[in-house]
Amino acid sequence: MLKTMLKTVLLASTLCVAGMAHAADITLRATANSNENDEDYDGLIVFKNYIENASNGAIAVELFVGTQLCATGEECLQGVADGSIDVYISTSGGAAGLFPYIQVLDLPYLMSDDRVAEEVLSGNFTRELRAKALADSDNKIRLMTIGNTGGWRNYANTKKTVKTPDDLKGLKMRTVPAALPQQVATSVGAAPTPIPWPELFTSLQTGVVEGTANGITDIMSMKFPDAGLKYLTLDGHSYMGAFWWMSNDRFQSLTPAQKQIVVDGFAALQQATFASPKRKEIAAYQNFIKAGGEVYVPTTEEKAAFKGAVAPVFDWFKGNVKDGGEIFAKFQAAVAEAEAKVAAERAADLN
């Protein structure tokens, strides 16, 4: 009797899976130029699970992690525009060539903490960026959401403890090959040195660069302490935003019900990437210290010195980046609104 019941259950399960597989008449091809230890992958797994379950198997999500489909931001976004890639995640630097104004998230010290950042990125500011990106891509590339990919950028180096901008003077600081991060590095007195991400370990090891600005999870996943990285300053100068793009042609081809599933899937993805660095950084900081690393937290006065040093970068952004002034003003307004909302919530919870 028990064997018969088990056979019936197994047969039903097989038919269910087969039915879902047969029903998957839409397959979304999603890619991330990272690895399975990254927050981007965590987000993709949540996205895939949500989409496939919510659609009852009618929509499948195929994941390509690494450089199987494309290797650079420009190449991947071109794939999104021509429809060969349905979903792609980029950093601001990876998409700045097409949408330079999204680098507003890289401007330092404008957002104070995770609660404020998550409030900003879950609100209308992201929708305003979406509208601009659609207009600038001939309605081909759609910004679906902005999550996180590594927490907050902090200064790290191989030479000494950094407490103020004076300690960064002359330090060869790795940047991506984009104008804004080079302006930020110059403003604090460092010597910006553009280095591709895959070459950073060797560049630190050989002294081609002496510092970088990254989150602790990236520092440890890339084993930078083995390359001599020892000193970390938790200044948290910029939020490491992850921009999730989708082919607008593909999105518009979906039924209204399917569109809602996809939109809700990206909302779940966003929450997963918000949460992932918070968990992963606990072990990352512990392992950094075990590897001989030193962590320094700036005082209020020292943080103010960093903020003062980078002030000219804001004028540079507004004057040199396409639509920089408009986006900067909208971003500041979104941050102010988020700060007010978070402050009110905190006050209510403290009563």
Angle between the 114-121 and 124-136 helix axes, to the nearest 10 degrees? 50
How many CB atoms are closer than 10 A to CB 236?
22
Query: Would you say the C-alpha torsion 337, 134, 271, 277 has a positive or negative sign?
Result: negative
Distance CA 82, CA 159 (A): 46
Q: What is the pTM of this model?
A: 0.90
pLDDT tens for 105-153 read 999 999 999 999 999 999 999 999 999 999 999 999 999 999 999 999 9
pLDDT tens for 20-40 read 445 679 999 999 998 898 999
What's the confidence (pLDDT) of residue 22?
52
Secondary element (H or E) of residue 146: strand 141-157
pLDDT tens for 170-213 read 999 999 878 899 999 999 999 999 998 889 999 999 999 999 99
Name the DSSP letter for residue 96.
T
pLDDT tens for 261-272 read 999 999 999 999
Query: Scanning the structure block, which residue is given the tokens 């180096």?
Result: 157
Taking 90 as the threshold, does the pLDDT of residue 232 lie above it? yes
Among 332, 339, 310, 331, which Cα is nearest to 128's? 331
**Domain segments of the chain as ranges:** 22-350
Strands in 183-330 per DSSP E: 191-194, 211-214, 231-247, 294-296
Q: Which residues contact 52 (CB under 8 A, 6 or more apart)?
A: 20, 24, 59, 60, 61
> DSSP letters along 238-267, please?
EEEEEEEEEEHHHHHHS-HHHHHHHHHHHH
CATH number assigned to the domain covering 22-350: 3.40.190.170
Distance CA 244, CA 263 (A): 12
